[in-house]
Structure 1
């Protein structure tokens, strides 16, 4: 079995990922980590033999250390907005301590000034430069950690019933402004199926049909 830990497991993308893993990848055993774990009872009910829950705060280092033990892949569905990047540093510490290598981390677009034009200006205004700086430091910590990481620089999200996205790499201009949560989940599911896919990369992804727009598409 492939053991996968999802942090922030009641997030919308996290829930899509969990449902797809339970229906598409029979070799995956899930640990869902969140506060008020009853909120994912519906996911547990899909296949209780393959799902366990951990009811804890993501900043509880002792609980996080225990949850990481024996995992093969960690998916951080939360974006690290902590001023001192406590979330990212805590996950890195737990993974190194428990010799777990593969991590997929959620982040935001614009952390490297890669979003051009009016949309890039608006995005910086909305997320604030301080917020983008914290998000960039999260990515930098992962890059320097020695872990097999992938950072997902997510666009502004919508709930459209579609999977459609293009991927850009660090150093490239971001393509698109918005994307569906289903699309973001699709990338995560693919990386869990093949942990070498997009390994040690910081990627941007969005619906290419939204390229050139100046505001998000909902």
Structure 2
């Protein structure tokens, strides 16, 4: 069985750590974990290669991307600049498959009262996420843009998805559930290619998340 080499950018993050936990025992997946501070991912050193670096440092990123099959990015900060750097470095290294996490609401796709609440809470914060998604969607990469709903730490993996152009409905989703979706994409890399996918908990369709 062919080994799939997977680079995790932003491996310190809570969703990323769930993804790593799901995949670390898969014999056909070889993980490389990339983070600015590797202290929070040292527990994975027996099952993954670990690199300390900055996505916005072209040398660091190039070294990490080289030879990978899939890049999964779960980042915060200057997300639009990071997206452009990742696209450029992946293209230069002929790495095609990208999974990139953004946010619900980047296309104003959240309907009704929940959409109004979401826009009020994070509307201005969504601008760099939209720019990131635009840069990725214009590229020739085999991308999946992932748009999670409001995140909880619940120990559950239930999720449903919506495609770009469909109304986003669910008000919340567990980080572990988003990770289950991403792990499924990594294990089935032909799924949801050139797609922007909303991820939410089924059956929770109120005016705002229950924890607000």
Q: Could you say which TM-score interval applies, normalised by the shorter chain?
A: over 0.9
Take 2:176 and 2:204, find their aligned partners in 1: how far apart are those partners? 16
Gapped regions of structure 1 (runs ≥ 5): none
Preserved CA contact (<8 Å) 2:81 2:132: no
Superposition TM-score, scaled by structure 1 size: 0.92
Give the match for residue 22 of structure 2: 20
Give the match for residue 200 of structure 1: 194
Preserved CA contact (<8 Å) 2:111 2:169: no
Per-residue CA distance 1:103-131 (angstroms, 9 max, x = gap): 000000011111111211111111133x2
Structure 2 residue corresponding to 1:97, chosen from 70, 92, 97: 92
Give the match for residue 8 of structure 2: 6
Take 1:149 and 1:203, find their aligned partners in 2: how far apart are those partners? 11
Give the match for residue 38 of structure 2: 37
Preserved CA contact (<8 Å) 1:152 1:204: yes
Equivalent positions of 1:1-218 (< 5 A) are: 1-23=3-25, 25-45=26-46, 47=47, 51-79=48-76, 81-82=77-78, 85-129=80-124, 131-211=125-205, 213-218=206-211
Take 2:91 and 2:177, find their aligned partners in 1: how far apart are those partners? 30
Per-residue CA distance 1:108-163 (angstroms, 9 max, x = gap): 0011111111211111111133x222211211111111000000011110011111
> Per-residue deviation at 1:194?
1.0
Count of aligned residue pairs for this structure pair: 209
> Per-residue deviation at 1:38?
2.5
Take 1:157 and 1:38, find their aligned partners in 2: how far apart are those partners? 24
Superposition TM-score, scaled by structure 2 size: 0.94
Equivalent position SS for 2:176: helix
Per-residue CA distance 1:4-31 (angstroms, 9 max, x = gap): 00000010010010111012x2111111
> Per-residue deviation at 1:217?
3.2
